[in-house]
Structure 1
Amino acid sequence: MPHGHSHNHGQDCGHEATDVDHALEMGIEYSLFKKIDMDNLECLNEELEGSGKKVFKAYENRLNHADFVQSDADEELLFNIPFTGNIKLKGIIIVGANDNTHPNKVRLFKNRPKMTFDDARAKADQEFELTRDPRGEIEYSPKVVTFSSVHHLSLHFPSNFGDDATRIYYIGEVMIIEFNYNEKILTSHFLYKGLRGEFSESHYHGVTICTYEARPNVSDHKNEAFDGVNRTIQ
């Protein structure tokens, strides 16, 4: 049994939503791939050069199998992902095929730019046993304390379910973003469940703060110290 994630599909009121509403919310939440520095993103051992960048896309395109990355020499893949600012990682979704090419483990490394496969032999900051997820329904939740102030994230996929090559269609990330733009301080908060977000912009003549929340959930306002729990997306 894979560790650290739940297959609970509870039908409590806090989770009720139509498929359209849910897709809309997740699309907004997972739009943060735009904060990745795509020009400097690397994928090691990709069969087709540049294909690794294409799996970071809009949530609503996660089931579009036209774009994917497949490993070359063996089943390993290693992504070096720089961000345009500091982020706090809240969750990851990984979509693969419903076969043995789907990765069965991901290992996360914080703030270690330009990692190689030799570097990836070191102890990871966190790792997850993966379940085949062809529809992007499972979110893996990194430790909040560990994955705060992240400017670079490396994702190492060491193996799959038994195929010679690993194939990935989509990688999505939930994160909180904090970055400086000229003399303004911009902060965006996007949290899973309830689509809760905050954006603040600091000016010379004052501070403007906007708070956005859709379908608030009581659990969203609990202590963020609840780490390492994966949620199955309803």
Structure 2
Amino acid sequence: MPHGHSHNHGQDCGHEATDVDHALEMGIQYSLYQKIDMDNVECLNEEVDGSGKKVFKAYENRLNHAEFVQSDVDEELLFNIPFTGNIKLKGIIIAGANDNTHPSKMRLFKNRPKMTFDEARGKADQEFDLSRDPQGEIEYSPKVVTFSSVDHLSLHFPTNFGNDATRIYYIGLRGEFSEAHYHGVTICTYEVRPNVSDHKNEDFDDVNRPIL
């Protein structure tokens, strides 16, 4: 039986507030797009150059269909996504249209920069069968052990639900981020010639050899 809300008798309905709170919470969780090195993101087989980058956006903009990526010569898409540090990937959302252009499978590869389609046809670190998700509500959970230290993520979408082209409106990434730490090279200077002051009780010749 459908449940309705009444706003009579001065009683407030908290449903709208709950929706706002949920959206705010999800927006905070799905903020890893801010940690993507956008200048170096690659989307292979995109119909319009640079359009692949535009699907990484704020959670609250996931239903904005003005920006999307569509495949070109066939239904495959491959994203190479570098990060500005290390992430622990905990969730992925893929939003497309409620039609056959929506991708039907997603394959994940960890730390494999500059992947090609030939390489993407190898064994993936994890695969998901996707459902049509025009509202961006379905979360797919990567294996935490596998995706706990990721500086580069590749997403391969090999098929859709039967269309010649694949279209994606939003890719959301949830997880934890840590800054990359670069260890400098320590330069050590080793003493080759003995120091006279260390041998005060010894006499040295003109090439600093002790005279015994």
Report the counterpart of residue 103 of structure 1 in structure 2. Answer: 103
Question: Is 2:68 the partner of 1:68?
Answer: yes
Shift of 1:102: 0.1
For residues 181-227 of structure 1, the C-alpha deviation after alignment (integer angstroms, 9 at most, x for no partner) is 789xxxxxxxxxxxxxxxxxxxxxxxxxxxxxxxxxxxxxxxxxxxx
Mapping of 1:4-83 within 5 angstroms? Answer: 18-83=18-83
Counterpart residue type for residue 137 of structure 2 = E
Mapping of 1:110-129 within 5 angstroms? Answer: 110-129=110-129
In 2, Cα distance between equivalents of 1:95 and 1:137: 8
Structure 1 unaligned regions, length at least 5: 1-16, 184-234
In 2, Cα distance between equivalents of 1:122 and 1:41: 21
Counterpart residue type for residue 28 of structure 2 = I
Counterpart residue type for residue 86 of structure 1 = N
TM-score (norm 2): 0.77
Which secondary structure state, in structure 1, belongs to the residue aligned with residue 67 of structure 2?
A: coil
Contact 2:86 2:180 in 1 (8 A): no
In 2, Cα distance between equivalents of 1:32 and 1:156: 19
Shift of 1:180: 3.9
In 2, Cα distance between equivalents of 1:113 and 1:31: 22
RMSD: 1.6
Report the counterpart of residue 232 of structure 1 in structure 2. Answer: none
In 1, Cα distance between equivalents of 2:32 and 2:113: 20
Which secondary structure state, in structure 2, belongs to the residue aligned with residue 27 of structure 1?
A: helix
TM-score (norm 1): 0.70
For residues 22-78 of structure 1, the C-alpha deviation after alignment (integer angstroms, 9 at most, x for no partner) is 111111111220000000000000000000000000000000000000000000000
Question: Is 2:177 the partner of 1:168?
Answer: no
For residues 128-173 of structure 1, the C-alpha deviation after alignment (integer angstroms, 9 at most, x for no partner) is 0000000011100000000011000000000000000000000001
Mapping of 1:159-198 within 5 angstroms? Answer: 159-180=159-180
Deviation beyond 2 Å, 4+ runs, structure 1: 180-183
Shift of 1:179: 1.1
Counterpart residue type for residue 161 of structure 1 = F
Counterpart residue type for residue 33 of structure 1 = Y
Structure 2 unaligned regions, length at least 5: 1-16, 184-212
Q: How many residues align?
A: 168
Which secondary structure state, in structure 2, belongs to the residue aligned with residue 63 of structure 1?
A: coil
In 1, Cα distance between equivalents of 2:155 and 2:22: 27
In 2, Cα distance between equivalents of 1:60 and 1:106: 23
Counterpart residue type for residue 103 of structure 1 = P
Report the counterpart of residue 134 of structure 1 in structure 2. Answer: 134
